[in-house]
Amino acid sequence: MKKISCALACIAVIASSTIAFAAPSALSSGAVTTSTAGPTIRGGADATAAQSTTTGVIIGRLSKGVKTVINFTPSAYALATKHDGGTNLYGTAFNSTSMYMKAVGSTALASGDVSATDSASFAGAGWTAM
């Protein structure tokens, strides 16, 4: 839980000034990461810069088995994470200091789990502020 919280906080702090994400290929807003090896999330001014290991700014690294979905625009983001063996989603957004949790059992993380680019993503049923 502490690792997830730390990873989310790091991503959240740096993502607010980033407009492109990559892990290791460019992430589309709303796409779920598919790697189970713990990809490094990088940011940059565009997808090319974000994918570069020399110019892409390291935002964070997911633990092995952790996946994330990030909805973003150049000025806003909301994201959620889930471990393959876990039963909870954890999320945060640029306009909130809260961490959110939602019990989902063995259901996989999906792009619809983060429905907006702000804390409205976590206003739905099942999400609770921690």
Residue corresponding to tokens 């063995």: 106
What are the pLDDT digits (tens) for 67-97?
Answer: 988 888 888 999 999 999 999 999 999 999 9
Task: Tell me the domain boundaries of the chain.
Answer: 2-129
User: Rounded to 5, what percent of the chain is helix, strand, coil?
Assistant: 20, 35, 45
- For residue 18, how far is the Cα from the chain centroid? 13
Whether the model pTM is above 0.95:
no
